[in-house]
Amino acid sequence: MIINSLGKRCPQPIIDIARALAANVEISEFELLSDDPATWPDLQAWARMTGHRVEQKESPRYLIWR
């Protein structure tokens, strides 16, 4: 599932991915599109707190797994 947060500033991309995870419990892999430079450090911190795995791909793509 792709979550498009392009043009949004943090913390909105993190809120968007958290909402997508909660609304789609059957999906285990998500792709976040975000061009905010703060997304990667915020996403890493969020993943540590929630137990998810994240990977930064070619900008502006991030992969998230449950």
Helix segments in the chain, DSSP class H: 12-23, 39-50
Helix axis angle for 39-50 and 12-23, nearest 10°, is 40
59 pLDDT band, cuts 50/70/90, is: confident
Q: Is the Cβ–Cβ distance between 53 and 65 less than 8 Å?
A: yes
Give the total residue count for the chain.
66
Q: Where are the domains of the chain?
A: 1-36
Strands 61-65 and 29-33: antiparallel
Question: Is the predicted pLDDT of residue 40 greater than 90, yes or no?
Answer: yes
pLDDT in tens, 11-30: 999 999 999 999 999 999 99
* Residue 3: per-residue pLDDT: 98
